[in-house]
Structure 1
Amino acid sequence: MNKIKDVLEAKGIKQIWLAEQLGKSYNMVNSYVQNRRQPSLETLFEISKILKVEVKALIKED
């Protein structure tokens, strides 16, 4: 499980913008945000770089 949705909301960033930055479709990013699919570690690190947060801020520790 991830907290991408929480970070996007806290920063006021739209999923479509993140999708453009990642070079992925909106549907793919939406599936990450809704936790229907988990990004690869490589993608997770790329998201953290784009959002300027630590990777651990994107991961639920449950």
Structure 2
Amino acid sequence: MANINRLKVVLVEQGKTGKWLSEQLGKSNCTVSKWCSNTVQPDLVTLDKIARLLDVDVKDLLNTTTKE
């Protein structure tokens, strides 16, 4: 699976954990772990909430795509 989001990287950069994020969002640790490992992706509304919690632009949570 492609690394679509940079959530794990941004959490590490800010010294925050997946557990912290799961508590802030009211989601399970398992769900956040799947987002961080790019197994599944958060929906756009949740991605916006994550960006606000981490005080970053939503674009900072996404890997850019390149056209081949």
TM-score, reference length from structure 2? 0.89
Q: Which runs of 4+ in 1 moved over 2 A?
A: none
Residue number in structure 2 paired with 1:11: 14
Which one has a larger percent helix, Structure 1 or Structure 2? 1
* Structure (1 or 2) with the larger CA radius of gyration: 2
Number of corresponding residues? 62
Deviation (angstroms), 1:50: 0.5
* Cα RMSD, aligned residues only: 0.4
What is the correspondence of 1:1-62 to structure 2 with a 5 Å cutoff? Answer: 1-62=4-65
Query: What whole-Å deviation, never above 9, does each CA across 1:6-62 have from its counterpart, x for those lacking one?
Result: 100000101100000010000000000000000000000000001110000000112
Equivalent-residue separation in structure 1 for 2:64 and 2:52 (angstroms): 20
Q: Secondary structure at the match of 1:38?
A: coil
Sequence identity percentage: 42
Structure 1: stretches of 5+ with no match in the other structure: none
